[in-house]
Amino acid sequence: MIDPEEYGFSTRAIRAGHLRTDEGEHGEPIFPTSSYVFDSAEQAAARFSGDEPGNIYSRFTNPTVRTFEQRLAALEGGERCVATSSGMAAILSTCMGLLKAGDHVVVSRSVFGTTVVLFNQFMAKFGIEVTFVSLTELAEWEQAMRPNTRLLFLETPANPLTQVGDISALAALAHQNGALLAVDNVFCTPALQQPLALGADIVIHSATKYLDGQGRAMGGAVVGSEEVVGNDVYSFLRTAGPSMSPFNAWIFLKGLETLKLRMDAHTKNATLLAQWLEQQPGVSVVHYPGLESHVQHELASTQQSGAGGILSFELEGGQEAAWGLINATKMVSITANLGDTKTTITHPATTTHGRLTPEEKQQAGIGGGLVRVAVGLEDIEDLKQDLVRGL
């Protein structure tokens, strides 16, 4: 196995974490086994007590999943990664592992709709107090801090308006108050942004998105230090079992091998499409951090090495115009997923953010005329052709 510290990003993405077996296989093997056989009763006891490292049961120890965990940790610059069955399972495991009744969390209002529901409906039910604030207003975060604030949670760039949060400033605020900062890095992936290097304590992934990259499998991950992720987050996963399957881990390993190439290509296509959309009649605003017109273009340029593949835009004609545009497409896929080689289009107000109340939608800036495009890797002229019909 290579020592990740000695190698660059692309090499780590291709080779980190693979401990070759005695078969000498070149590709990473899949271990489809639920349990493992011990040499003796003594060894079984030592494994279960933790005195001897090694595999026990695939809910929490599987070599293919471990290879994925070590590779992603090497890419994010974290000591430890815990792989989960989905991105939401990663957020849930973080909360269940690190929070207790009476704790307070501060969450960006601009997070994925289901994340809002998780905090509002479920974490609240277990006595965890939640305050939602504007991702971009540092003063709101400062005012929200309380003595019992344990976690700050954000996505940057945020879904679907691509607002950018200042990771270093929010990490400093969290640490001054004895809290942790968790960053959902789904939109950028470590190929474009490494939150731990900017001071964050925890990185969350929906591997379902760009880590896979071809829309095939569900998965997630939590990355951070051994202390934060390796104890209580791992312990929750081991106990409750929202674990990644070894088959999915193998798919994500293959995805990671081309991550950098794909993220650069997504960024190139999205930049061209965003610039073109800005010129189109009926489009009132285009949200994309790579555009100079984006309010936080400068901040995005300092903490990201590329703007990524997601953009959204607002149509003057409201929901009717947005649905008209979506229905006029012939090639791009009408689906809420993102992070695929295939371009996808969605209407956030009635899909990903449909469960928010009208007030929450208004506060989050999700209007009826908003359309989100997760720009894939098709020919850019074909993408323009497909959208211009509905414009």
Ligand X SMILES: Cc1ncc(COP(=O)(O)O)c(C=O)c1O
Q: Which residues bind ligand X (CB under 6 A)?
A: 86-88, 112, 155, 159, 184, 186, 206, 208, 218, 220
At 18, list the tokens: 């693979």
Looking at the Cβ atoms of 193 and 206, the one nearer to ligand X is: 206
CB of 227 to ligand X, least distance (A): 24
Return the sign of the alpha-carbon dihedral for residues 317, 318, 322, 324: negative
Looking at the Cβ atoms of 184 and 340, the one nearer to ligand X is: 184
Spatial contact of 291 and 349, defined as CB atoms under 8 Å apart: no
CB of 222 to ligand X, least distance (A): 12
Looking at the Cβ atoms of 201 and 340, the one nearer to ligand X is: 340
CB of 271 to ligand X, least distance (A): 20
CB of 45 to ligand X, least distance (A): 37
CB of 112 to ligand X, least distance (A): 4
Spatial contact of 158 and 111, defined as CB atoms under 8 Å apart: yes
Looking at the Cβ atoms of 206 and 312, the one nearer to ligand X is: 206
Angstrom distance (rounded) from CA 188 to CA 306: 8
- Point out which residues pair with 82 in neighbouring strands: 222
User: Which residue do the tokens 């595999």 mark?
Assistant: 55
CB of 349 to ligand X, least distance (A): 16
- Taking CB positions, which residue lies at the least distance from ligand X? 87
Pairing of strands 129-133, 104-108: parallel
Looking at the Cβ atoms of 145 and 229, the one nearer to ligand X is: 229
Q: Where are the alpha helices (DSSP H) in the chain?
A: 9-15, 41-49, 63-76, 87-98, 113-117, 138-144, 167-176, 189-192, 226-228, 234-240, 246-257, 259-278, 297-303, 318-328, 358-364, 380-388
How far is CA 357 from its chain centroid? 24
Looking at the Cβ atoms of 189 and 208, the one nearer to ligand X is: 208
The angle subtended at Cα 274 by Cα 219 and Cα 153, nearest 5°, is 40
